[in-house]
Structure 1
Amino acid sequence: MKMSDSSDEEQDVNYVLFKDRPDWKDIRPIEQDDDDEIVAIHYTDKFKDVHNYLRALLKKGEKSERALELTRVAASENPANYTVWQFRRDILKTLNKDLHEELDYIEKFILKQSKNYQVWHHRKLLVDWLKDPSKENYFTTLILNKDAKNYHAWQHRQWYMKTFQVFDGELDYVDSLLNDDVRNNSAWNQRYFVINNTTGFTEEVLKREIDYTLSKIKEVVENESAWNYLRGLLLHDKEGLSKNKTVTNFCEELYSSNSQSPFVLSLIVDMCCEQVQEGSGDSIYTLERALQLCSDLELKYDKIRANYWKHMADTIKRKASGENVEEEPTTS
């Protein structure tokens, strides 16, 4: 393995190793102690040089302009090195550096390393120190325009929104993402996050969101993300899974149209399970129907989880007989 041959500085033919810089002659570099030479990593000269000097400054505890420059080069060589970023933050504080300039620096870095935890963590701490999230909507949107499912960008977006209570326009943004890709699970998750942290799932909001979700399911029935969101909504319905007429009518219409979607069938199974447990004698969600659907899912429509559906059928039968059975996890 070779570390590293892709940094910006390495492309600069004028780059000078620290050991050859006159203003670093007072520092004695500390070599890395590699005990196992059998599988030794092939570091570039530049990588070894910068980290040798980094170890020396860490030991010395020096926090200076040249130390800050050293961390910049070290971070470009290995952006995942927590120690480098922590040392850089210590230097920034000691020198009382302009953190807005540091935000600009890390923005450029993240644009090249958008799936690196440490660079996002660095930005998070800068925003927290500044108590200023004003640039974060633009920046995370910029990243998500390139990759709408970037986990780190979404985590950062949720963090600053909840921390600073800045949710304005977010549902519209999420809606635009779902219009682009209705299967975007990250966008569905963000929708739930925003509502949960703003209005909450009031009766009015619940009705609106159920209508919205069903309209998206109509576009693509085999969309697990939308079905999962629907299940999450129904957890907030005080009537339960099987008594929301809008949802039950929707599912029954799909079922009557010979839909073979395991997401439709599994939701109906859970509705049956709820009604069986409550002992609703006049319900269409009966034990017999639940067992038939479990068999259909096991043998035809969801074979990959055949053992699960066998287990589910056994669980529903035991609930019907009055046994105290722990609730099963959602099947979606």
Structure 2
Amino acid sequence: MSSREKYVFYKDRQEWDDVNPIPQDDGGRNIVNIAYSEEFVDAHDYFRAALMKDERTWEYRRRIIEEISPDLNGEMRFVGGLIEDYSKNYQLWHHRQWVVEKLSQQNQNNSSFITHLSSEELDFVGSVISDDPKNYHAWQHRRWIVTFFNVPVKTELAFTEQTLSSDVYNNSAWNHRYYIVMCDEGLSSTVLQREIDFVQRRISFAPNNESSWNYFYGLLMPIVRGKKHIHNSSFKLLVDQNSNIKQNIMSDLQIMQKFAEKLVASDQIAGDCLAPLSFLVEVYADCLESYFTEKSGSTCETHSSLNAVGVTSDDSNNASSDPKEIFDRAVNLCERLAREVDRVRANYWQYRARQLMCFAKKVNLIPEITIP
């Protein structure tokens, strides 16, 4: 008898009689329908039903805990043991947060207990991150701990520095550090200069690390909304878009331009890397937009970050500020990326070159031409 003949569908198994299967919802407008096997459909329909029950089970457990008021330290050990085996189960992390909140409420007048609980949570999540350095749920829990317990900034800066020393490519660590610096510490002049030095050293060590280049960009190109700096995580389109460019931002852009150009010119590996070259394209694009924004008299109420930290004119004068030269460099880089460095995305870089040409024509930087 074949294995197929031996298979018993879940819908035919007596022990699953009380479970109502949940079919997959593919939306009904698929271009191509996937030909799932009957066994696959049957198993996953019952899997979805069981998953929903398990989600409700955690809420049910919390209600029981509320009612009988057991030892919450025991509950911490229980959920901690489960997380050690299933560290990517978001329900477990959510339940642990709930238990931590309850313990804190019960001991809100005991400062030594709260300090100990905070330290234990940092140690626990630190051990999970040590085993799985890019575990999204663990990093989210650490961010929650920092906010809930008002963990000192220096503690988290040291933790991210240690993590990045082990793996400079860990985007989760860069993201955590960014939140700590921007949201908790505040981007003062001293902090900004410290972080610029920090990220530039890491970039020089691993020039093809997109995470560190993004961090560098995020430090110097925040946008202003209300009273908070918010990271402009998507690079700005150049055509027909109202951008929130900082007044006198050119000095900030030129420090990025100078650093990237110097690294690309002096480091053979960096000169052939996608990350620094694509970074330069975006900086060149921002330089052009900033130049013509300032020229037209647009203003934005914020400070020029690098002027505030004392970057002298000599530091940025080596970076070209001539818009035509910047335009030529940007287009040439797009062409090189499409032709040599990033041929998989050749169409994208050709599109970026056309964007730049459209913008240049719009501001009369180049004569009227037919955009290919």
TM-score under structure 1 normalisation?
0.71
Tell me the CA shift for residue 78 of structure 1: 7.5
Per the alignment, residue 156 of structure 1 pairs with 141
What is the SS of the residue equivalent to 2:87? coil
Identity %: 34
CA distance in 2, matches of 1:106, 1:33: 26
Change (3 A) 1:220 1:145: same
Residue 165 of structure 2 is aligned to residue 179 of structure 1: yes
Residue 270 of structure 2 is aligned to residue 270 of structure 1: no
CA distance in 2, matches of 1:80, 1:235: 46
Q: Looking at both structures, which has the greater relative contact order when contacts are Cα pairs under 8 Å and sequence separation is at least 6? A: 2
Query: 1:1-332 maps to which residues of 2 (within 5 A)?
Result: 32-34=18-20, 39=39, 81-131=54-104, 132=114, 133-134=117-118, 135-168=120-153, 169-236=155-222, 238=246, 239-240=248-249, 243-244=252-253, 246-257=255-266, 259-277=271-289, 278-279=291-292, 282=322, 285-322=325-362
Q: Superposition RMSD on alpha carbons, in Å?
A: 3.1
Tell me the CA shift for residue 201 of structure 1: 1.6
What is the SS of the residue equivalent to 2:184? coil
Change (3 A) 1:80 1:267: farther
Change (3 A) 1:244 1:98: same
Change (3 A) 1:243 1:160: closer
Deviations 1:74-131 (A, max 9, x none): xxx9798111111111100011122222111111111111111111111111112223
CA distance in 2, matches of 1:216, 1:80: 46
C-alpha contact 1:217 1:227 (8 A) present in aligned 2: yes
- 5+ residue gaps, structure 2, are 1-6, 9-14, 23-37, 105-113, 224-245, 296-320, 364-372
What is the aligned length?
263
Change (3 A) 1:243 1:156: closer
Deviations 1:215-272 (A, max 9, x none): 0011111111111111111213955476455433321212323512222222222232
Change (3 A) 1:213 1:240: same
What is the SS of the residue equivalent to 2:60? helix
- 5+ residue gaps, structure 1, are 3-28, 43-50, 52-76, 324-332
C-alpha contact 2:160 2:177 (8 A) present in aligned 1: yes
CA distance in 1, matches of 2:265, 2:257: 12
Change (3 A) 1:241 1:310: farther
CA distance in 2, matches of 1:35, 1:249: 60
Per the alignment, residue 3 of structure 2 pairs with none
CA distance in 2, matches of 1:126, 1:307: 51
Greater mean alpha carbon deviation, residues 237-246 or residues 120-129: 237-246
CA distance in 1, matches of 2:43, 2:101: 37
CA distance in 1, matches of 2:80, 2:200: 38
Per the alignment, residue 64 of structure 1 pairs with none
C-alpha contact 1:276 1:285 (8 A) present in aligned 2: no
What is the SS of the residue equivalent to 2:70? coil
C-alpha contact 1:251 1:268 (8 A) present in aligned 2: yes
Per the alignment, residue 370 of structure 2 pairs with none
Per the alignment, residue 304 of structure 2 pairs with none
- Partner letter of residue 304 of structure 1? V
User: Which runs of 4 or more aligned residues in structure 1 lie more than 6 Å from their structure 2 counterparts after TM superposition?
Assistant: 77-80
Tell me the CA shift for residue 156 of structure 1: 0.7
